[in-house]
Structure 1
Amino acid sequence: MRYIITTFLSVFTFFGLVAQELSVNVTINTPKLQIADPATFESLKGSLEEFFQNTKWTDDYYEQEERIDVTINITITDEISIRDFKADLAIQATRPIYGSDQTSVLFTHQDKEFYFSYEQFQPIQYTPNSFNDNLTATLAFYAYIILGLDADSFSTFGGENHFITAQEIMNLVPPNVSRSAKGWLSVDGRRNRYWLIENLLTPRVQPLRQAWYDYHRLGIDQMHSDPAVARVLMIKALEQIAGVDKNYPNSMIIQVFANTKGVEVLQIFKPAPVEEKNKVADIMSTIDPSNAIRYRMLRS
């Protein structure tokens, strides 16, 4: 058994003995609608739920308790037309901590360049090795990012194939789409889908991916049995990540790590010895300088 997970929306379809990988909860916010019919977004929510229910992302078999818990929050920020929209896409994925009833966040990310087209009752379907539309491509891209991060947390570089699939999804986006629907190109900024997958696959970030495994399997998953040893190994993992930050400055993956793990690191090291707390405060303040004040509480 890999781990136990609590589900929000039970997302599973059986193909023989194959069970689904993701348990997904979708919410859609429409604070400033002026053109589109609100019923369109009720339909979109249903279509997205069916999309995740009916898509088998891998060839692996997942027990029900092994599924990855994902929340997706879509906030419509611009109505380009009655069927074309820009939105903020907020995603969080979690996995349980072994031997406890607590969870560890795998991925926390906000994509503010989520452009998509949708008409009421439009089906959404992912087809491997082809591009259907930007809505499907973006959601499939992040599904494989999450699958990759989850796999990396259980085995060293275990998520490689999932990350490669995410990169292939990006490469299949037609030029006319990627030019208008931002987020797929390197020129669109330094914090987008292009740079996320570039960071995850570049050799410069391999030490972070090794540290990701160490942090989870050797550290946080062992907190129930030997918290002192687990914390030492987690500090070593954080030092590796700081090394990546030094060798690959301003990389997106460091920001993603800080956004995902900053609060968790604080919670884990609050009861730690002073020397450990000071060391962690130094590391986290270096890799997450915009939140340096947050880590000061470890020094008190």
Structure 2
Amino acid sequence: MKKYVLLILCFSFFITLHAQELEVSVTINTPKLQTADPKVFETLETAIQEFMNNQKWTDGTYEPLERIKVNIVMTITKELSANTFEADLSLQSIRPVFNSTYETPLFKHQDKDVTFSYQQFQPLEYSQTTFTNNLTFVLAYYAYMVIGMDYDSFSPFGGDPYYQQAQDIVNRVPPTIASNVPGWRSVENNRNRYWLVENMLSPRIRPFRQAIYDYHRQGLDMMYQDAYAARAVMTLAIESLAEVNQSYPNSVIMQVFANTKSDEIIEIYKAGATQEKNSVIKVMERVDPSRASNYRQGIGK
């Protein structure tokens, strides 16, 4: 019996030491598939999940319960050839809230500029020194963006090294590739992968990143202790977004924040004081004008 107990303890220790950073689930939708074998995407679904979950993205040690939960939905929008496709990639990461069963959405984003080639059973390989292929570079880029945002929520500007890794990926895409597949160049638009990581490393966005820490670590994580004081901290964090919106108007990261947090903010401030409600509504109407009526009606006064 002791041998079995020892074996279980050793196995658990082994898993703990080797647990990676991400716990990713993947779904691939193929609503417009015409010629490619659907089984190819079943294989790809598994390949992406294993790639994201088994790759060692940081130097840190993660216990299984500390892994960052991420949901990825890839929708194939166009077949360019038998094994080349265009796709939308939707990602959402979630973060546990301290001393609570609640999990808060942390990063929610849709990338409509994913072009890739894949043959069934093709291994997904990534190198930190050379370009491998567009799919693994896109996946690695978002792995670092998700990890960076998670670190920012636990320590001020803790995501810096991971955003730098994401920017390094952008810089390593060969010009011949970047000119033929969208998402990597600054000249395309201000909503692509280039600008998303540029935002996170921009001095103008620093108050936003401080707000991410305050909102989560000093706000949500403290709700169990004193909901009124925690919400007051969160209110100050949201108010600071007005400064970011003014110094860096139309930034993609502010839209990502609004897409991620709008429903949560509405639910939290339903119970807020009138002054808090008015302040949050005023800021969010400017940051997220397309949902202005949602904030007014949902939060109330």
Scaled to the shorter chain, the TM-score interval is over 0.9
How far is 1:190 from its partner? Answer: 1.1
Aligned-pair CA distance for 1:16: 8.8
Return the alpha-carbon distance in structure 2 between the equivalents of residues 258 and 163 of structure 1: 20
The answer to whether the aligner puts 1:256 opposite 2:247 as a matched pair is: no
- Aligned pair in 2 of structure 1 residues 125, 292: CA closer, same or farther (>3 Å)? same
Match of 1:244 in 2: 244
After TM superposition, what 4+ stretches of structure 1 lie above 3 angstroms from structure 2? 13-16
Deviations 1:88-139 (A, max 9, x none): 0000000111111001111000000111110000010222222100000000
Aligned to 2:143: 143
Distance 2:292 2:34 in 1: 41
Residue of structure 2 equivalent to 1:81: 81
Give the SS at the match of 1:186: coil
SS class of match (1:188): coil
Matches within 5 A, 1:157-196: 157-196=157-196
Could you say which structure has the larger radius of gyration?
2
Q: 1:209 to 1:16 in 2, by over 3 A?
A: closer
Q: TM-score, normalised by structure 2?
A: 0.93
Distance 1:157 1:40 in 2: 40
What 5-or-longer segments of structure 2 have no aligned partner?
1-12
Match of 1:8 in 2: none
Aligned match of 1:115: 115
Please tell me whether the aligned partners of residues 16 and 62 of structure 2 are also in contact (alpha carbons under 8 angstroms): no
Per the TM alignment, residue 287 of structure 1 is displaced from its structure 2 partner at its CA by: 0.6
d(CA) in 2 for partners of 1:23, 1:46: 13
SS at match of 1:123: coil
Q: State the AA in 2 paired with 1:235.
A: T
Q: Which residue of 1 aligns with 2:199?
A: 199
Q: CA RMSD in A?
A: 1.4
SS of alignment partner, residue 24 of structure 1: strand
Which residue number in structure 1 is paired with residue 277 of structure 2? 277
Q: Distance in 2 between matches of 1:14 and 1:91?
A: 30
**Counterpart-to-counterpart distance in 2, 1:14 and 1:244:** 44
In 2, Cα distance between equivalents of 1:283 and 1:15: 45
Q: Can you list the C-alpha shifts for 1:46-68, whole angstroms capped at 9, x where unaligned?
A: 21122123201111001111110
Q: Please, which runs of 5 or more residues in structure 1 have no aligned partner?
A: 1-12
**Deviation by residue 1:9-30 (Cα, 9 ceiling, x = unmatched):** xxxx968924211001000000
CA distance in 1, matches of 2:160, 2:14: 25
- For residues 34 and 97 of structure 2, the distance between their equivalents in structure 1, rounded to whole angstroms, comes to 44
Range that drifts further, 261-270 or 122-131: 122-131
**How many residues are matched?**
288
Counterpart residue number, 2:300: 299
SS for the counterpart of 1:74 is strand
